[in-house]
């Protein structure tokens, strides 16, 4: 699973649902517009503080932006 790609898809969907352009979201979240573009294209991994700001700006739970992202630990061979 590509975490950045899944997050980007979730962010794009939430931003469009909130009827915001990338420029508007960037201004509200105090993030550069190119960073929003990179996040939405899965080229940049978001920091936790930025995740909270973005979720607040699109009026969504941070969990909504993390939907479909998970990790399974590998079994340790001994």
Overall number of domains in the chain: 1
pLDDT at 29: 98
Distances (CA, A) of 3 to 27, 39, 55, 75: 24, 11, 17, 21
- Residue 13 covered by a domain: yes
- Residue 52 covered by a domain: yes
Indicate the pTM of the whole model.
0.90
- Residue 75 covered by a domain: no
Looking up residue 30, the CATH number of its domain turns out to be 1.10.260.40
What residues make up the domain containing 24? 3-65
The phi-psi region of residue 59 (left if phi > 0; otherwise alpha if psi is between -120 and 50; otherwise beta) is left
Mean pLDDT by 10 residues, the chain (78 residues): 94 98 98 98 96 98 96 81
């Amino acid at each position: 699973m590509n975490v950045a790609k899944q997050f980007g898809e979730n962010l794009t969907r939430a931003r469009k649902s909130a009827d915001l352009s990338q420029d508007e979201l960037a201004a509200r979240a105090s993030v550069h517009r190119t960073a929003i573009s990179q996040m939405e294209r899965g080229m940049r991994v978001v920091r936790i503080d930025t995740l909270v700001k973005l979720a607040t700006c699109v009026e969504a739970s941070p969990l909504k932006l993390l939907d479909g992202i998970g990790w399974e630990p590998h079994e340790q061979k001994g």
